[in-house]
Chains A and B, each alone.
Chain A
Amino acid sequence: MRKSKESIFKNKLVWAVIAELLILAVAGILEPNFFKIEFNQTTGMLYGSLIDIINRSAEITIIAMGMTMVIALGGTDISVGALVAVAGAFALKFLRWDVTQYPTPGDYTVKPFIFVILVPLVICTLMGLFNGVLIGKFKLQPIIATLILMVAGRGIAQIATNGKQFTTGYTPFRFIGQGSMLGLPFPIIITIVVCAAVMIFVRKTAFGTFVESVGINPSASRVTGLKSDRIIMIVYTLTGFLSGIAGLIYSSRISSCDSNNAGVNYEMDAILAVVLGGTSMTGGKFSLTGTIVGSLIIRTITTLVYYFGITSESIMAFKAAIILVVIVIQSEPVGRWLATRQARKQKVGELHG
């Protein structure tokens, strides 16, 4: 049988990969050292821009795994950034160097360490469930439903820490964001594990197909026996949990919590990563691999900009310009145009060949 295949120019994942490679190529031409990776004997870690890009993209990549399915369902979750702050606040609440009690650094009030990890994750998961119930059961519009926690989340984080910024020097906690394993920064290891777990869950069970089905046609999905409200709740809960993991990584990187600035604009970056990866905002078919590439593109641009010493004020504009190009190339009319051109060339080739 002949297999139905779309032109590769219509495949957005292909474009995302091409875009990423092009950006890297530009970096390589301008600065040959860009690709240099060194092994640091003392820390036992690999160093280099490429490693740094993957390391620093960890938080967005992890959140965007959940966001991909949120968007596939035709929704959005704008509370993820606030949840990053919540996770950090609760982690540091149970783990801090209290200056008044312990004047010398090195002494800590540490609740059992497992608490420090589990409590923030449970709280973020419950917040995700809260979003899911509002959207799945009460049928609120996703952007409105998640707006609630986007605002309230930072408030809750403030309350948890009494409005203070705690810092910590506790090594096991700092390991999450700053440690290394197998020569790689630990956040990369976490990202690989999380992405693999999500992908296995989604593609090795029927969950992915169910999400796509509900995203494409909720009414028909219901008539076919799918429990769409349950699927919606699972997706938002998962996204909450993943935001919690990202929050732990972030607060561990900076060894503190910052309810006002942690995770700011993460929702936008996560959505952008999903869209760059080729998943449509209208819902339906999604690509987790695409999302990972999308997240890498965002981080590569940022790194590139820093690397060449472009002033921080112009970073946003620079980022926007590159993203604009990528998204326009991915857009349907351009894809169709390229596909017809390709078809014509083939036709001409056949005639002459």
Chain B
Amino acid sequence: MLDHDVILTMKGIEIQFPGVKALDGVDFSLRRGEVHALLGENGAGKSTLIKCLTGVNKMDAGRIELEGREIRPTDPKNAMDLGISTVFQEVNLCENLSVAENIFIGRQPMKRGQIDWKEINRRSAELLERFHVHIDVTRPLSQFSTAIQQMVAIARAVDVDAKVLILDEPTSSLDSDEVERLFDVMRDLKAQGMGIIFITHFLDQVFEMSDRMTVLRNGRLVGVFNANELTKLDLVSTMIGKDLDQIFDLKRAVQKEGAGEMLRAEHIGVPGKVEDISFSQKKGELLGFAGLLGSGRTETAEMIFGVSKAQDGTLTIDGRTVKISEPMDAINNKIAFCPEDRKRDGIIGDLTIRENIALALQARRGMMKPMTRKEQDELADKYIKMLAIATPDAEKKIRELSGGNQQKVILARWMATDPDLLILDEPTRGIDVGAKAEIQRLMLEMCENGMSIIFISSELDEIIRCSNRIIVMRDGKKAGELNGEGCTQADIMRVIAGEKDGETA
């Protein structure tokens, strides 16, 4: 392609954070009508590069050119005015405002000195039509699913006359249908000549959508590749710079003969959410939960852990019938739970890694039996080492860590309580390939040591790779049960689609 096709260039970008060089001489260029994937592990510098482009972080060196003119974005608003629009990973909209207000906030069309609501609502509905989203735009955003909220965020970004659109993990909370819809929209925008920077952890999507990819590692540029130049495996090894064998050589935990029963759920449910769920799990078994978003996987986990109270049915743990009405009851029964929404239900952002790791254990011991500082330090150091949490020390605030490392800290918090049953709800969402493989390996290791694990994931391949048995959920009910061994993605999909009920293993 010719040089004048280039819409955006970044040259020799450097950013220094206290103690680390977050970006070290990174170059990046984007062409008109191109989807350009920005890839790398967590902490590789993808977000920092984006933040630099949107004016959140200030560059220490380097030059940004948009359509040949040098720009220095001062803040996201300024970047947007220049034509650089961003949809961030965490939807940052106002949940209590209506959909239409969210789309037009800060740039409401006026009519005779007053906000023209009719126009706002009409144009919002029209805009969302383009995404095949048909909703009442006057209703508050909070009434819609995360997927819809994501669409609204994209609609808002696209409507402001952007030349460059940045999509930071736009698909991590969407199901496959919604992803397809988003891709259609991306193709549309591409055809109109917009340059799209696409950040995602889903490698399939990278290959499906992108024309070129730029790979970063440890704040440095590794290379720029055309999409047809690389295989998926090449890409992964480029990203992590590590031998691939250790990642894909995962073996399902061997089910021990004659292992006792860990958990038995009989007809448990919360009317209106999940109903009539029955299953059992052996000691040392890794039980996968598959199903679409909203199919009741998370709700089932929350019931077992007491986040929401089961209204019906009985729960038997290790042979004892138990009543679990709040998380503490579950913790006392040696159950642990890593929630899906890490930011809302997992991390205590302003507390240190040490405090975050010690918290669950401390909660179980009770307020009056505090852990000494020495105990806490030892606990934190032990898990930082064991889980290879990337941090200079245990006194860093957890919110300053990358997503994968935050997830490891939450995992450490629960491993410290020495649970018999560990529930992991999407533990690998939004984290990079390397960390993902590490977490999978840890799960299998823990199962080998006799821990039972419930593993919820939207990614079928990792469910199949790790689980001894798989429970498939559909519409708040259990749709089927499959054996992990010999199961294919198509098998699971057929059960999800309701073509056949899975045979009981």
CB within 8 Å of B: which residues of A?
1-4, 204-207, 209-210, 212-213, 216-217, 219-227, 284-285, 343
Please, how many angstroms separate the alpha-carbon atoms of A4 and B366 in the complex?
Answer: 28
Flag whether B345 is at the interface (Cβ < 8 A): yes
Which chain A residues lie closer than 8 Å to B366 at the CB level? 206
Task: Name 20 extra pairs, CB < 8 A, besides A2-B19, A204-B370.
Answer: A1-B392, A2-B393, A4-B397, A205-B367, A206-B367, A206-B371, A209-B359, A213-B351, A216-B348, A217-B347, A217-B349, A219-B344, A220-B344, A220-B346, A220-B348, A221-B348, A222-B326, A223-B339, A224-B360, A227-B326
Interface residues of B in 375-428 (CB under 8 A from A): 392-393, 395-397, 413
Q: Report if A209-B355 is in contact (Cβ < 8 Å); known contacts: A2-B19, A216-B349.
A: yes
**Interchain CA distance A262-B366 in the complex, whole Å:** 39
A302 CA to B503 CA in the complex, in Å? Answer: 79
Chain A residues positioned under 8 Å from B351 (CB to CB): 209, 212-213, 216
B328 CB–A CB distance under 8 Å: yes
Given known pairs A223-B327, A225-B328, A226-B363, the reply for A205 and B368 (CB within 8 Å) is: yes
The reply to whether the CB of B53 lies closer than 8 angstroms to some CB of chain A is no
Residues of B contacting A212 with CB < 8 Å? 348, 350-351
Can you list 5 A-B pairs with a CB-CB distance of less than 8 A? A206-B371, A207-B367, A212-B350, A224-B363, A227-B328
Q: Please tell me if B331 contacts chain A, counting CB pairs below 8 Å.
A: yes
What A residues does B316 contact at CB under 8 A?
A: none
- B-chain residues with CB within 8 Å of residue A206 when the two chains form the complex: 362, 365-371
**Residues of B contacting A216 with CB < 8 Å?**
348-351
Q: Is B364 an interface residue (CB 8 A)?
A: yes
B337 interface hit (Cβ, 8 Å) = yes
Contact status A4-B393, CB under 8 Å: yes
Contact A220:B367 (CB < 8 A) given known A209-B351, A213-B359, A284-B350:
no
B82 interface contact, C-beta 8 A: no
Contact partner of A219 among B326, B345, B364, B397, CB < 8 A? B345
Question: Does the CB pair B395–A4 fall under 8 Å?
Answer: yes
Closest 10 CB pairs of A and B: A225-B363, A1-B393, A206-B370, A225-B331, A4-B396, A225-B328, A223-B345, A4-B395, A284-B350, A216-B350
Q: Which of A4, A204, A207, A213 contacts B348 (CB 8 A)?
A: A213
Judging by beta carbons under 8 Å apart, are A224 and B327 in contact? Answer: yes
Asked if B56 is at the interface (CB within 8 A of a chain A CB), the reply is no
Max chain B Cβ within 10 angstroms of own Cβ: one of A1, A223, A224: A224
Chain A: minimal CB distance from B57 (Å):
13
* A2 to B392 Cα, complex, angstroms: 6
B307 proximity list for chain A (CB < 8 A): 222-223
Say whether A3 contacts B395, CB under 8 Å.
Answer: yes
A9 to B413, alpha carbons, bound, how many Å?
Answer: 32
Instruction: Give chain B residues whose Cβ lies under 8 Å from the Cβ of A219.
Output: 344-345
Residue from the set B337, B369, B370 with the largest chain A CB neighbour count within 10 Å: B370
Instruction: Give the A-B contact count at a CB cut-off of 8 A.
Output: 86
Listed residue (A209, A219, A227) with the most chain B CB atoms within 10 angstroms of its CB = A209
Find B362's partner among A209, A284, A343 (CB 8 Å cutoff). Answer: A209
CB distance from A231 to the nearest CB of B (A): 8
Bound complex: CA A21 to CA B345 (Å): 43
In the assembly, what is the distance between CA of A58 and CA of B444, in Å? Answer: 59
Query: Which residue in chain A gives the minimum CB-CB distance to B58?
Result: A340
B19 closest partner in A (C-beta) = A2
Give chain A residues whose Cβ lies under 8 Å from the Cβ of B350. Answer: 212, 216, 284-285
Task: Tell me the smallest distance from the CB of B275 to a CB of chain A, in Å.
Answer: 23
Judging by beta carbons under 8 Å apart, are B392 and A223 in contact? Answer: no
Using known A-B contacts A213-B351, A217-B349, determine if residue A222 contacts B19 with beta carbons closer than 8 Å: no
**CA A213 to CA B367, docked complex, whole Å:** 13
| Alpha-carbon distance A327/B367, docked complex (angstroms) | 34
Cα of A149 to Cα of B351 in the assembled complex, Å: 33
Contact between chains at B392 and A4 (CB < 8 Å): yes
Given A2-B393, A216-B348, A216-B351, are A224 and B367 also a contact pair (CB < 8 Å)?
no
CB distance from A347 to the nearest CB of B (A): 9
Which residues of A lie under 8 Å from residue B18 when comparing CB positions? 343
Cβ-defined contact, A217 with B348, below 8 A: yes
Nearest Cβ on chain A to B330's Cβ, whole angstroms = 8
Write the chain B residue with the least CB distance to A223.
B345
Chain A minimum-CB-distance residue to B327: A225
When chains A and B are docked, how far (Å) is the Cα of A220 from the Cα of B348? 7
Question: Which residues from B are CB-within-8-Å of A284?
Answer: 350
Chain A residues closer than 8 Å to B365, beta-carbon distance:
206
**Chain A residues positioned under 8 Å from B370 (CB to CB):** 204-206
Chain A, residue nearest B384 (CB): A1
Alpha-carbon distance between A219 and B339 when the two chains are bound, in angstroms:
11
A2 and B19 CA atoms in complex are apart in Å by: 10
B239-263 to A contact mask, C-beta < 8 Å, 1/0 = 0000000000000000000000000
How far is A227 from B350 in the complex, measured between Cα atoms in Å?
19
Q: Which residues of B contact A204 (CB under 8 A)?
A: 370
Shortest distance from the beta carbon of A75 to any chain B beta carbon, whole Å: 17
* Residues of B with C-beta under 8 A to A285: 350
Q: Which residues of A contact B364 (CB under 8 A)?
A: 225
CA–CA, A221 and B364, complex, Å: 12
Which residue of chain A is the closest to B360 with respect to CB atoms? A224
A216 to B348 CA separation, bound complex (whole angstroms):
6
Contact indicator A210/B396 (Cβ below 8 Å)? no
**Cα A46 to Cα B367 with chains together (Å):** 41
A217 to B349, CA, bound (A): 8
Q: Which residues of A contact B19 (CB under 8 A)?
A: 2
- Smallest beta-carbon distance A108→chain B, Å: 42
A222: chain B residues at CB < 8 Å are 307, 326-327
Rounded to whole angstroms, the CA-CA distance of A213 and B358 in the bound complex is: 12
Q: Could you tell me if A224 and B392 are in contact, using CB atoms closer than 8 angstroms?
A: no
Q: How many angstroms between the C-alpha atoms of A3 and B391 in the bound complex?
A: 10
Q: Give the Cβ gap from A205 to chain B, nearest Cβ, in Å.
A: 5
Complex Cα spacing A222 to B347, Å: 11
CB-CB under 8 A from A343, the residues of chain B are 18
Residue of B nearest to A222 (CB): B327
| Alpha-carbon separation in the docked complex, A212 to B392 (Å) | 23
| Chain B, range 182-201, C-beta contacts under 8 Å to A | none
A197 to chain B, nearest CB (A): 15
- Return chain A residues, CB-CB under 8 Å to B349: 216-217
Contacts of A224 in B (CB 8 A): 327, 348, 359-360, 363, 413
Q: Hey, what's the 0/1 contact readout for B307-326 against A, CB within 8 Å counting as 1?
A: 10000000000000000001
Of A2, A4, A213, A223, the residue contacting B346 (CB under 8 A) is: A223
**Which of B305, B328, B363, B397 has its CB near the most chain A CB atoms (within 10 A)?**
B363
Most buried by A among B339, B347, B351: B351
CB distance from A198 to the nearest CB of B (A): 15
Closest Cβ of chain A to B140, distance in Å, is 20
Cα(A210)–Cα(B364), bound, Å: 12
Specify which chain A residues have a CB less than 8 angstroms from the CB of B363 in the assembled complex. 210, 224-226
A284 and B352 alpha carbons, distance in the complex (Å): 12
Bound Cα distance A188, B20 (Å)? 48
Give the complex CA separation of A209 and B326 in angstroms: 20
